[in-house]
Structure 1
């Protein structure tokens, strides 16, 4: 249980970053993807940017995890596998599948990388050092519900990414209305899935670090999903009127 003082401080920082992020995104659209624009400094290839900013979530998590006293415990290893299921996809598979040509500001990459270092540290240290889960945790309703939510969210997230990649033929530019899957109900099911994942992680770990990550994820993605929804409706007069931004029939 050592290190609670510094650990609690880092978790508090993450909660604070969630507040800063949601306030900032209410005023500013993060300048990457469809909102890419000049005035944000030098840029790099989006593929390179994604690998650089997301890979600390794999590398730092594993390094911190291996330093924990419970690194060989069954539950810790299961949680490690869950984490890697998302971040190996996000850091290494997703960038390779991206269309070439898009760019993102170095500033965005640096800020995301710093967050991922912080987030990986607090979550890995909880899982491998502070949590101290008994094997029976794997049958606890909180873990089971969290795992189902996590993997359901991951499936929605990955399928939605694939739908977006296939909207345009090779060499084609511009945007189209996505259809199929969870796009039947919401404009950004990739974000809905990712929020669901980390809410599931918070349940499965039953930890302050997991809760901080779930709150931060929502603070980061809810405003962007609302912006996406407004962008689609403004750009496409025939956009489905019954589709919501993030939560079917509600938001």
Structure 2
């Protein structure tokens, strides 16, 4: 499972780097054969992305009722992360486009597989010796930093448009003055935190895979802004301030 999740996300990252984007957000209409594509509204598509993973996390509290502090922290982190994303879709984000059903299925299955497998494989470790270096509290701290930073920058994005406004603007505020995708940066920190809470090979592979994909997605996003806005500041990086 660790190899599978890493290979899958690495392939998605490679496709992004080649310009074969998963079709959501700014890239929903970048593919060919549009007449044969099934489109969902962005709000509906985003709910399909996160809800199965959230339900997997929620069900784990009933299916696996014991397991100690680490297991409880992992179930909480996974469930809360995807609940937050659903709540943002319902009450925060402003959408202007569509999502292609094929991309919705790929992302939704990936998230669900990662969430369910991370929890189940953690269950399989119960009874084994704890790691020599306990990183779960550091992981919880990183998770909370990532959640807060991700939400804050999603909030800033939601305030860019007035009511009924559809166009894109250059984001302002927070770390947007330094990188175009700070919400991706904090998403990586979220999964890094989850991996340190869990401390299993699968959780590390998941965090690495998410990072690989979001690195390439952020690079493509910066290229998109450069192509659409002549006044886009060239000093703004893609993901990591001053570096990338």
Q: TM-score range by the shorter chain?
A: 0.7 to 0.9
Would you say 1:128 and 2:123 are equivalent positions? yes
User: Offset of 1:72 from its aligned partner?
Assistant: 4.9
Would you say 1:32 and 2:24 are equivalent positions? yes
Per the alignment, residue 166 of structure 1 pairs with: 159
Equivalent pairs, count: 238
Cα separation, 2, equivalents of 1:165 and 1:183: 13
Per the alignment, residue 173 of structure 2 pairs with: 180
Compared CA separation, residues 75 and 203, structure 1 to 2 (3 A): closer
- TM-score, normalization by structure 1: 0.85
Would you say 1:61 and 2:61 are equivalent positions? no
Q: Which sections of structure 1, spanning at least 5 residues, go unmatched?
A: 1-9
CA contact 2:215–2:239 (8 Å) conserved in 1? yes
Query: Deviations 1:17-73 (Å, cap 9, x if unpaired)?
Result: 1221121111212221111216351111111111122111111233355434x6352
User: Offset of 1:100 from its aligned partner?
Assistant: 4.7
- TM-score, normalization by structure 2: 0.88
Query: Deviations 1:109-139 (Å, cap 9, x if unpaired)?
Result: 11112112211221111333424588x98xx
RMSD of the TM alignment (CA)?
A: 2.3
CA contact 2:16–2:220 (8 Å) conserved in 1? no
- Secondary structure of the equivalent of 1:55? helix
Q: Which sections of structure 2, spanning at least 5 residues, go unmatched?
A: none
Cα separation, 1, equivalents of 2:179 and 2:126: 36
Cα separation, 1, equivalents of 2:70 and 2:146: 21
Per the alignment, residue 3 of structure 1 pairs with: none
Cα separation, 1, equivalents of 2:56 and 2:231: 45
CA contact 1:71–1:128 (8 Å) conserved in 2? no
CA contact 2:54–2:83 (8 Å) conserved in 1? yes
